[in-house]
Structure 1
Amino acid sequence: MQETYLLAIESSCDDTSASVLYNNKVLSNEVANQEVHKQYGGVVPELASRAHLQNIVPVVAQALKKAGVQKEQLSAIAFTRGPGLMGSLLVGTSFAKSMAMGLGIPLIEVNHMQAHILAHFIDEGQAKPQFPFLALTISGGHTQIVKVKSFFEMEVLGETLDDAVGEAFDKTAKILGLPYPGGPLIDRYAQKGNPKAFSFSQPNIQGLNFSFSGLKTGILYFIQKQTQEDPAFVEKHLADICASVQETIISILIKKVKKAVQQTGIKQVAIGGGVSANSGIRKALKAMGEQYSWETFVPKFDYCTDNAAMVGIVGYYKFLEGQFSAQAVTAQPRLSISKE
């Protein structure tokens, strides 16, 4: 087996991350979060790219140090080309290109969403999905059901027609007066509430596509109506509201996954993306798997949110295939997973 040391860089949104892999094993996975966005209630692209500029050198240095690897030992550098915020992607892309050129080693571009799916193949002794399998990718910017035929052949079977599921969680949190990022807070409060306390209508979308804009509007109108009658309504019922919203979102996701399994006959289902850290979604998917005899795969929390280790595992398999990028490669904020 060829010895491969690979440096991976992820900078698609507001987390600057660097990871060092030895073949398909993670030696380090460093992430610098950006606190600056909290006061604005969401990611500000210009501030994100500036923070990446400040963070990328120390994060890469820390990843190499923690892994005990010298930069001269590196076999290749993998980086997120897209999708994501243009300014943020440019920082990671430019750094990766410069470092690869300076070291005279190959450069490997990675699709961010492909990385979320293939994070399941990071070797930590766990069971891994077998091709073909279905992947539910859920994040702040994406909601997709993907048929994964091989490491590099993927087909989007369904996706959101408007808002992503992560956006639905964050916007709901904002309506409830919770700080950004609100998704994890809704999950925390939901664990203490009654998921049947309040009812929210679910969209009737054909096929395997999703829609969350109507649900978001419905929640807004519901909260406005209730707070007119009782200004302390949210405060009194916060846990129940969060539990009911989360239950509705989970139901929307699970129904589509069930439909995808029925249509394709594929009974291996994996989840990926930042929202896959949600405890309710993880439990529901596992429960459905047990009920219908699916095999379900849930990533470690470390590999749910944006991180460079998932970029590194894609980079490793591309390295084995000799799929290298030219120095002329540029960041691409709208990069389709089906074209990989």
Structure 2
Amino acid sequence: MPLVLGIETSCDETGVGLVRDGVLLGDALASSMDQHARFGGVVPEIAARAHLEALPAMVRHALDRAGVAFADIDAVAVTAGPGLASAVQVGLAAGKAYALALAVPLYGVHHLAGHAAVDTLEHGPLPGRCIALIVSGGHTSLLLLGDLARDPIVHLGDTLDDAAGEAFDKVARLLGLSYPGGPAIDRVAREGDPHAIAFPRALPGTHTFSFSGLKTAVARWVERHPGPVPVADVAASFQEAVADTLSRKAVAACHEHDASTLLMVGGVAANSRVRALTAQRCAKAGIELRVPTPRLCTDNGAMIAAVGDLVIRAGLPPSPLDLAMHPTATLTHALVHP
């Protein structure tokens, strides 16, 4: 079976993975998060420069961990979008260079398809039909999946404004917590009361998400509160609102579309309360919940290699070497088309 090199540079993580026949052989990850922390968010040009500097070493680390050589690589899969334009361009250019130098095919992968595919590395092939909840810093979507490599991907609902992870970052900033906001709120919320404040749940009864109003509700509550702000209670109540919204809509989508499996992926899927409440509701509804380990929920190279592995085994043709990056690509198929 072909050995696939995967490269991911859509945001601030430089990820490399090596996958063969559904098995992750080795991976490596570098983050420029510390360089962005003082700005409270990712600065695209800083991220792009960090990718440029880190990528060769990450490829070498992944090869060493897998115990293979450059000559063993049979195909290159690389994120072609969506993401920060300058960051995606660095990875795509590197992927083309490796493919050309090794005389192997190139596959331009959709970043979000990678999040869905990475679970196969831990839990095996996806069922023929399932609901996927992709929830990250830049994306929140409910999808109906068939064969991830071959079938069109159906969007049941997306966010109208802020993604869930973006809301975590903004609320953390309001509360004086560190960046990135997701892990900071998760830690602080453990000491708070998730029912202390009744924050709103937007668009009930639909598959569509909106977190801008929730973020604003937190800001208004903090502004009006006399005296010291009970940070733990605010964090816990906000986190509960997000977890409630995500899990409720995902389980409802499974019922509506007769899917017995829910796949939850993306950086916010690493949040302890989101995972716990979704697991509780899936168990009650008789739905199998599949969630990767936290380290594979965030952006990584293994997920891109996993998509490459799937599309190669499905017999899909490679991408042209003049494939352009698509920073705003909509997820309709696993591969980004020219």
1:307-318 residue pairs with structure 2 within 5 A?
A: 307-318=300-311
User: Could you tell me which residue of structure 1 aligns to residue 162 of structure 2?
Assistant: 163
Matched, 1:104 2:103: yes
User: Could you tell me which residue of structure 2 aligns to residue 16 of structure 1?
Assistant: 14
Show CA shifts across 1:161-185 (max 9, x none): 1110001111000000111101111
CA distance in 1, matches of 2:75, 2:124: 27
CA distance in 2, matches of 1:188, 1:277: 12
Matched, 1:256 2:255: no
Aligned residue-pair number: 330
Q: Report SS of the residue matched to 1:137.
A: strand
Query: Does the CA-based 8 Å contact 1:6-1:23 persist in structure 2?
Result: no
Matched, 1:141 2:138: yes
Matched, 1:130 2:127: yes
User: Could you tell me which residue of structure 2 aligns to residue 336 of structure 1?
Assistant: 330
Unaligned segments of structure 2, at least 5 residues: none
Deviates most, 249-258 or 307-316: 249-258
CA distance in 1, matches of 2:7, 2:195: 42
Percent identity over the alignment is 36
CA distance in 2, matches of 1:279, 1:120: 18
CA distance in 2, matches of 1:185, 1:239: 11
TM-aligned CA deviation for residue 198 of structure 1 = 1.3
Q: Report SS of the residue matched to 1:161.
A: coil
TM-aligned CA deviation for residue 197 of structure 1 = 1.1
Query: Does the CA-based 8 Å contact 1:7-1:77 persist in structure 2?
Result: yes
Query: Letter of the aligned partner of 2:20 in structure 1?
Result: Y
User: Could you tell me which residue of structure 1 aligns to residue 78 of structure 2?
Assistant: 79
Query: Does the CA-based 8 Å contact 2:131-2:144 persist in structure 1?
Result: yes
Query: Letter of the aligned partner of 2:147 in structure 1?
Result: S
**Runs of 4+ with deviation above 3 angstroms:** 126-129
TM-score using structure 2 length? 0.95
Query: Letter of the aligned partner of 1:65 in structure 2?
Result: D
TM-score using structure 1 length? 0.94
Query: Does the CA-based 8 Å contact 2:133-2:143 persist in structure 1?
Result: yes
Query: Does the CA-based 8 Å contact 2:22-2:124 persist in structure 1?
Result: no
Query: Letter of the aligned partner of 1:28 in structure 2?
Result: G
1:1-340 residue pairs with structure 2 within 5 A?
A: 3-34=1-32, 35-122=34-121, 124=122, 126=123, 128-152=125-149, 153=151, 154-204=153-203, 207-226=206-225, 229-230=226-227, 232-233=228-229, 237-320=230-313, 321-340=315-334
TM-aligned CA deviation for residue 156 of structure 1 = 0.8
CA distance in 2, matches of 1:271, 1:84: 20
Flag the 1:327–1:129 CA change in 2: closer, same or farther, 3 A: closer
TM-aligned CA deviation for residue 255 of structure 1 = 2.0
Deviates most, 81-90 or 144-153: 144-153
TM-aligned CA deviation for residue 322 of structure 1 = 3.7
Query: Does the CA-based 8 Å contact 1:128-1:297 persist in structure 2?
Result: no
CA distance in 1, matches of 2:81, 2:124: 28
Flag the 1:129–1:288 CA change in 2: closer, same or farther, 3 A: farther
CA distance in 1, matches of 2:222, 2:317: 51
